[in-house]
Chains A and B, each alone.
Chain A
Amino acid sequence: AQSVTQLDSQVPVFEEAPVELRCNYSSSVSVYLFWYVQYPNQGLQLLLKYLSGSTLVKGINGFEAEFNKSQTSFHLRKPSVHISDTAEYFCAVSDIVGLGGGADGLTFGKGTHLIIQP
């Protein structure tokens, strides 16, 4: 079984400042890692994912994340945020070893609410 911990439930940041949203996971097997964004009253949109290879992953909207296996972390970063980045961000993992190589379903963190202040 896996678990995901998003250390901050809420992160306030000034516009054009950098931001890091933290995610740590626990798993006894190899995992795929995902970051999703959810705007108010909307569904989930994939920001980026890590499957294998380079530990630095670039996603949409200027976001990137770095996989650190030794620290079991997958922190999300953006060098300069905009008002439009205000949303809920979810980190999630899926077990590679199970049903169909990642198809076991996702385990989510509780989310981090990113608040951009003008």
Chain B
Amino acid sequence: NAGVTQTPKFRILKIGQSMTLQCTQDMNHNYMYWYRQDPGMGLKLIYYSVGAGITDKGEVPNGYNVSRSTTEDFPLRLELAAPSQTSVYFCASWTGPEGEGYTFGSGTRLTVV
């Protein structure tokens, strides 16, 4: 079991470029999440998904899009990168209360210049 896998680990984007942050889990979890972490702050929820084909906005969705075509994959899309999107992005899945609760990926550090 690899858990929650995020790629890439690091990326530098120019303003206006687009990219997709990849997130894959091999635990057959229905619930998945994207968070961003800004310096000196806790994580904030961007989008979440309760299963394939179903997504919804979190606290800070502006500038992002998501899709969930399979249970395993939950990519996060940035269409027109802005400096305000410089952050560390974490993907997570819900294991249920019997397990850890939430399992996090190792993060993607994104810099927009």
Contact = CB atoms under 8 A, between A and B. Distances in A.
A111 B94 CA distance: 21
A100 B31 contact: yes
A87 interface: no
A114 to B, nearest CB: 15
Name B's interface SS. strand
Name A's interface SS. loop
Interface in A80-118: 90, 92, 94, 99-111
Interface in B15-50: 30-31, 33, 35, 40-45, 48, 50
Contacts, number: 65
A26 to B, nearest CB: 15
B42 A92 contact: yes
Interface residues of A, number: 26
Contacts of B31: 99-100, 103
A94 B43 CA distance: 13
